[in-house]
């Protein structure tokens, strides 16, 4: 089980991410942009929604000592490259996050 902080401002998808990760055995907390850096210090994995304001959200995660998993809209592949260049450990399309999020988090936390 991993301790996960998730920055997913979309309430509907945030609830889905929270439920999916919790069902996968993870301890999940949704964080706001203004406290995500502070909260991430206590986490094994930081999950970041990059579907809106990707530059701002990438910057929020830069330099943190935590494994990072970002997800993006599949039509914006450049967001993936920018996040990986900034140091994200894994960046996947939103659809993959919806299907495999708990497993992706477990792999990051274990590895």
**pLDDT per position as a tens digit, 75-106:** 998 999 999 999 999 999 999 999 999 999 99
Asked, for residue 58, whether it belongs to a domain, the answer is no
In a domain, 86, yes or no: no
In this structure, is residue 18 part of a structural domain? yes
Position 19 in a domain: yes
For residue 109, count CB atoms less than 10 angstroms from its CB and return exposed for 0-12, middle for 13-18, buried for 19 or more: middle
Task: Give per-residue pLDDT as tens, 5-27.
Answer: 999 999 999 999 999 999 999 99
> Does residue 111 surpass a pLDDT of 90?
no
Determine the Cα angle at 58 with ends 76 and 11, to 5°: 75
Owning domain of residue 45: 1-52
pLDDT digit string, tens, across residues 42-69: 999 999 999 989 999 999 999 999 999 9
Domain-embedded: residue 7? yes
Identify whether 4 is part of a domain.
yes
Name the strands in the sheet holding 27-30, side by side, starting at the edge strand that comes first in the sequence.
27-30, 3-7, 45-49, 67-72, 90-93
Tally of structural domains, the chain: 1
Q: Is residue 3 part of a domain?
A: yes
Domain membership flag for residue 89:
no
**Rounded to an integer, what distance in angstroms lies between the CA atom of residue 24 and that of residue 41?**
22
For 92, the token pair is: 């996947």
């Amino acid at each position: 089980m991993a301790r996960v902080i998730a920055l997913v401002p979309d309430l509907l998808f945030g609830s889905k991410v929270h439920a999916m990760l919790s069902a996968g055995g993870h301890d999940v907390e949704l964080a706001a942009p203004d406290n995500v850096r502070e909260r991430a210090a206590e986490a094994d994995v930081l999950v970041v929604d990059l579907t809106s304001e990707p530059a701002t959200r990438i910057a929020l995660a830069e330099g943190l000592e935590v494994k990072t998993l970002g997800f993006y809209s599949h039509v914006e592949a450049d967001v993936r490259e920018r996040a990986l260049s900034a140091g994200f450990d894994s960046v996947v399309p939103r659809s993959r996050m919806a299907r495999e999020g708990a497993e992706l988090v477990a792999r990051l936390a274990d590895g």
